[in-house]
Amino acid sequence: MGAIIRTEQLYKSFGRDNQEIVVLAGVNLEVEEGSFTVIVGPSGCGKSTLLNIVAGLAAPTSGCVYYRETPLLSPRLEIGYLTQKDTLMPWRNIESNIAMPLEIRGLGKVERRERTNELIQLVGLKGFEKHYPHELSGGMLRRAGLARMLSATPETLLMDEPFGALDAQLRLELQGELLNLWTGSGKSVLFITHDIEEALLLGDRVVVFGSEGSIVYDEAIFFPRPRDAATLRFQTEFATAHQRIWNALVSARMQQEAKR
């Protein structure tokens, strides 16, 4: 399959204190259709900025994002985005938050309710439909965010450290659920994490970003699926892949520090 997302010489800079801060300096990245691509990289190297641009929420300073070889200039329903922070509406209950993209798409009440119920079941939030975001735990909020992203039935999922703030056990649980959702779905995923173990458990490919979004390392991950974290993490191949990515991250960080 070909690339579903392709960035071509993507530049992004911000003006700050009369200075131009370059965040992305000519990023060329392709995401193969149906793949699970993971980006890791030191803090501040431009990962979230890249995802914002690919989501159509921010414009590049120059260069272009192509989605199915068409320039992407604004958000698209085919692309779901789960940001680092919860963006649920505090005044809407969980059911109504999840139904929001369906309302935007103009689905009728009955269809909306059916689809919302399915999603609530899928992410394990049965019984919490009428709760408001402030009444839920961090893990439940992530589940609700996931359901809301999926409600628009996107074919591509952009996920920015979605499980970063969760405890290790819950993180493992949600990683497993995400893999179950993704397996056989044909969906393409572009996923950001700081956690090498998470990258290796989930990804078909791990891309390491250095300063200004430069790609310092790119490895295809061939561990057979379904993957089980408990067994995978004790395998020699896992340990050696972990070491390679760790080394790449060390040089990425050094490169970033040298630029400062």
Q: Which is nearer to ligand ATP, 54 or 147 (CB)?
A: 54
Binding of residue 18 to ligand ATP (CB under 6 A): no
Place of tokens 């359901």: 147
Nearer to ligand ATP among residue 109 and residue 259 (C-beta): 259
Q: Is 157 in the site for ligand ATP (CB under 6 A)?
A: no
Find the length of the chain.
260
Written as six digits, the tokens of 36 are: 């699970």
DSSP letter string, 178-223: HHHHHTTT--EEEEE-S-HHHHHHH-SEEEEE-GGG-EEEEEE---
Q: Is 16 in the site for ligand ATP (CB under 6 A)?
A: yes
* 44 lies in the site for ligand ATP, by CB under 6 A: yes
The smaller minimum CB distance to ligand ATP, of residues 14 and 222, is found at: 14
Contact call for residue 43 and ligand ATP (CB under 6 A) = yes
Q: Which of 45, 53, 136, 159 binds ligand ATP (CB under 6 A)?
A: 45
List beta partners, residue 205: 37, 220
For ligand ATP, the closer of residues 45 and 54 by Cβ is 45
Q: How far is the CB of 47 from ligand ATP (least distance, A)?
A: 4
Q: Is 48 in the site for ligand ATP (CB under 6 A)?
A: yes
Of residues 46, 80, 139, 210, which one binds ligand ATP by CB under 6 A? 46
Site for ligand ATP in 20-39 (CB under 6 A): 21, 23
DSSP 3-27: EEEEEEEEEEEEEETTEEEEEEEEE
Contact flag: residue 117 with ligand ATP (CB under 6 A)? no
CB of 59 vs ligand ATP, minimal distance in Å: 12
Contact 9, 26 (CB under 8 A): yes
Q: Under the criterion CB under 6 A, does residue 158 sit at the interface with ligand ATP?
A: no
CA-to-CA separations, 5 to 70, 80, 162, 182, in angstroms, rounded? 9, 13, 20, 17
Amino acid at position 31, single letter: V
Residues 162-201 vs ligand ATP: string with x where CB under 6 A?
----------------------------------------
| 47 part of the interface to ligand ATP, by CB under 6 A | yes
Helices in the chain by DSSP H: which ranges?
47-54, 94-104, 109-122, 138-151, 168-182, 196-202, 229-232, 236-259
The one-letter code for the residue type at 240 is T
Closer to ligand ATP at the Cβ: 21 or 59?
21
Q: Compute, in degrees rounded to 10, the torsion defined by CA atoms 185, 186, 189, 195.
A: 60
Q: Does 19 interact with ligand ATP (rule: CB under 6 A)?
A: no
Q: Using the structure block, give the residue that is written with the tokens 């990683």.
A: 175
| Candidate residues 7, 35, 37, 49; the one interacting with ligand ATP per rule CB under 6 A | 49
Binding stretches for ligand ATP (CB under 6 A) = 14, 16, 21, 23, 41, 43-49
